[in-house]
Structures are given as structure tokens and as C-alpha cells.
Amino acid sequence: AYNNVPRGTMLLVTNISNNKTCTVEVTDRNGMGKYHIDLSHSAFGYLSDHSKGTIKVLVKIFPIVSLRH
């Protein structure tokens, strides 16, 4: 969940402590309280060990590329 962009937006999420990066799609926009983004279990596991609980990340919006000529 990420409230700053519409559903379907692709985001590049980078774990600041280890520079691991993954691409995620915004699938919902629920309130997340004090957290900036709510990642799926698998995306979080790719970026960090699940025992961490929370991590600091950098979020970038993937640019929309038009394939039209």
C-alpha cells in the first residue's frame, strides 16, 4: 500500500542500508499509520531479513514509458 500515487503505479524501492532494490506495483491505498509504504511479504523478504520488522527505504516512481510512435 502506498497513498501517494494511484493503484497500478510501479515503484522502485531501495533498502537504504544494503542497496537492494525491487520493483513493486501499488495494489491498494490503505492508511498505513506512521509507515510510508507497506510492502508485500515477498518484496520485504527480498529487501531485508524478515526479522527486521521495519526498514528505511527510498521510493521512486517508475517513469511511464509510452510505446506509441
pTM value?
0.81
CB 3 within 8 A of CB 59: no
Residue 31 in this model has a pLDDT that exceeds 90: no
Cα distances (Å, whole numbers) of residue 16 to 3, 19, 30, 54, 55: 21, 5, 24, 12, 8
- Which of the four pLDDT bands, split at 50, 70 and 90, describes residue 61? very high
